[in-house]
Structure 1
């Protein structure tokens, strides 16, 4: 691909300025081109910030940002740019005064008529393809998501980047003006995800899984998405999946966040977060979580298609009629397994994992993504061609996804089921009390016993009074532990077992009894040890050494007189 000369325009007139006239006066690096980065929504802005890696270490290229904030989903864009340290933000009504060489956007809905369309514009994707019909406020009908307006395409300077050749045929059938105004570049995001799969354990540590399996819930926006159809699914999974065997993360389309606001979203999912939900922020985290996931539950959004093409076990819990027939997402709907939300979700997840074939959608992946493994180079070449500069002679950077930073809280109370598998071995299955309901399954087969275990950090005050087991997980010395046991016996007389963590285990009391010492061969398990002691007391067993198993956690505890 050859760079176009900036020296002469097609009319023979002097070329338009490509950098600010102040650059030679105030600048240091002698930048030759300015790229105007047009932000509009959280979704598109996050994709743009990722695309800036194509200009990494190139002192020839300057960056100026603007926000076309006329979307109903522009909330939070300025904050996202500020967090990224994008300090040079030009007001939208001033963009025609910016002497840029190239404008880039990841939204097809920017107000193109307010740009100088004698200058090139590249539209990057913010999902996979053109798979949905979405509302069009301008006409009151629907439009194909991802496709710029007829006006923008007719200027000849707006270039739409595509993941594969089939998308070009699809768009030409819908809008003939797109012919010759597309470039098939593949999907750098898919290349990034695929190349990051060997780092899955790194991201699992970052998410604090501690040996648990991660179920990633993914929901697109609007009522046909997973949350629009099953708004309580996150709570349902948390209530039915043993907390020491599974973790649940939720990735919501950023338009959900921008429409309702962060405070409202967090309020709606407060109980789920109290139960351990990893609530991923709107500007990222889904990429690393998808790499880390053992299982994905999704809908007709792009994350589900990414998951299938990465070879992840996938169950679809919702699917919208807004999907475009014949597109890869619609093909996925017909070929993927579906989650029966009102059924036994644990059994369905285990079956999905057990019967999973990683190559099930390999053929679909080959159809969806051109230039596999090389999309970053191809897209960078397109950008530099439009800039009129030769692309750098170094490799186009492919960076791992940023570490996830979910809104999270460790559960502080559990409904616990205990069962002895041997005289000196007890198995615990714990479910977060914050989301348990009366009709949730009870693991009482085989003589299992049930109790409520509560840490003193539990936010709901009524649970302390209801606890059969009350624990303080914060490690202190023995004197402080004994003092807490004494006070808590007065304050919470209903607790049958009380336990306070110490450096080598915990001190515990059985109601109206003396304190005992519990030594454990692993740290930070005081609450589990207290539940195991409860099981011993209820069963009338006097074993001094017990192996305790709760999902991925296993330890040996020794009970002795203090």
Structure 2
């Protein structure tokens, strides 16, 4: 098939016969999911302007892949290598935000997380069926292959996660660094744009923004309470409130954007603002006045930014030390026996304690992740670090999807 043809790009034994910029270090960005891809773009922004560096992307697959990921990556307008071509070459640096397929790529690997924290919200993996042993994102089975530690640099968010690595995969400890959290840092550096984001979303100073945040799977807010969106839109007067929805990219990937929009069509007709999965959720959270969420990372990030949070759903008893556990301990549950504005006010009384606890659970290096991650990448690339300060771009404005009737 034509899609499987190798790309005449900047890598390979004969690359010197076609490149315009010679002797560039080649960086491979492995994008198995949209969630991983959006997080890795933070890293890409720290090195792609360097004339000594060439960045290429690939979407890994064996017999399957997530719907929409290929289109997302191609929409970035970088060089996209077929997976078979990517695993046939050695790169100077491999960037990953997922454990998937790391044993198949060649080159020093920097692995970051793609959510808030390395302690999973659930005690057990979805894939393990009847497992009884709690799992984390730093278990030996994820970080090693045939006795080899896969990441050359394992970037963690907090100091406490280093102890978790020592417990779950001690052989990976020498490869760990505490780098903080790039997602939270970008939100913190962009918070002064709150009024800009609100204006783009059509909000006047008098209107409050309520964001319904959901992760994916059957225990999520969308999985358990699909009627929540219509109910919140109907319960809040449009003159005083706007309602937006942020759904995990895997909801869109598994069910398809047409089906998700159709399921929410009633709420969309009533004014619900639907944020696309590839970008805009962080800016929407910064614009929010109240988040109704679940155990997903988006709720945790909103909490860390000081937004009032109320829980509509939780995955049973979240794993101790997870961001979800912190959010559960500091928030109230949604109740239909109490007016929503009163619940928003009650959530507002808990923001200070919640923000501090959530931030501590997500990062031990607040506002420093750009510097730390760039230094780690250039060490693996064996290049001198640029003299310019390391910084992420400000968050782009949200671009809601068209309403169902449009």
Q: TM-score surpassing 0.5?
A: yes
CA change 1:387–1:257 in 2 (3 A) is same
Displacement of 1:194: 1.1
Q: What are the within-5 Å matches in structure 2 for residues 375-390 of structure 1?
A: 375-390=369-384
Q: Is the 8 A contact 2:300 2:324 kept in 1?
A: yes
In structure 2, how many angstroms separate the alpha carbons of the residues matched to 1:200 and 1:241? 22
In structure 2, how many angstroms separate the alpha carbons of the residues matched to 1:302 and 1:385? 30
Partner residue of 1:258?
A: 253
CA RMSD across the alignment: 2.5
Partner residue of 2:322?
A: 327
Indicate the SS of the match to 1:63.
Answer: strand
Higher RCO (C-alpha under 8 Å, 6+ residues apart): 2
In structure 2, how many angstroms separate the alpha carbons of the residues matched to 1:106 and 1:281? 20
Indicate the SS of the match to 2:149.
Answer: coil
Partner residue of 1:193?
A: 187
Q: Structure 1 regions of 5+ residues with no counterpart? A: 1-17, 411-457, 460-562
CA change 1:83–1:220 in 2 (3 A) is same
- Is 1:83 the counterpart of 2:71 in the alignment? no
Partner residue of 1:113?
A: 103
Q: Is the 8 A contact 2:213 2:247 kept in 1?
A: yes
Partner residue of 2:3?
A: none
Q: What are the within-5 Å matches in structure 2 for residues 30-429 of structure 1?
A: 30-70=22-62, 74-86=66-78, 88-108=79-99, 110-116=100-106, 119-130=107-118, 131-133=120-122, 135=125, 137=127, 141=131, 144=135, 146-147=137-138, 149-152=142-145, 154-158=147-151, 159-211=153-205, 212-321=207-316, 323-341=318-336, 343-353=338-348, 355-358=349-352, 360-409=354-403
Q: Which structure would you say has the larger Rg?
A: 1
Displacement of 1:103: 0.9
Deviations 1:392-449 (A, max 9, x none): 1111122111111112439xxxxxxxxxxxxxxxxxxxxxxxxxxxxxxxxxxxxxxx
Q: Is the 8 A contact 1:40 1:74 kept in 2?
A: yes
In structure 2, how many angstroms separate the alpha carbons of the residues matched to 1:99 and 1:150? 20
Q: Is the 8 A contact 1:30 1:59 kept in 2?
A: no
CA change 1:331–1:167 in 2 (3 A) is same
CA change 1:395–1:231 in 2 (3 A) is same
Displacement of 1:100: 1.0
CA change 1:345–1:366 in 2 (3 A) is same
Q: Structure 2 regions of 5+ residues with no counterpart? A: 1-9
Indicate the SS of the match to 2:261.
Answer: helix
In structure 1, how many angstroms separate the alpha carbons of the residues matched to 2:376 and 2:146? 17
Indicate the SS of the match to 1:37.
Answer: strand
Deviations 1:185-205 (A, max 9, x none): 001111110111111000000
More strand by percentage: 1
Moved more, 158-167 or 127-136: 127-136
TM-score by length of 1: 0.65
Displacement of 1:180: 1.7
TM-score by length of 2: 0.88
Q: Is the 8 A contact 1:197 1:291 kept in 2?
A: yes
Q: Is the 8 A contact 2:295 2:315 kept in 1?
A: yes
Displacement of 1:378: 0.5
Partner residue of 1:431?
A: none
Deviations 1:472-518 (A, max 9, x none): xxxxxxxxxxxxxxxxxxxxxxxxxxxxxxxxxxxxxxxxxxxxxxx
CA change 1:139–1:390 in 2 (3 A) is farther
Indicate the SS of the match to 1:149.
Answer: helix
CA change 1:76–1:63 in 2 (3 A) is same
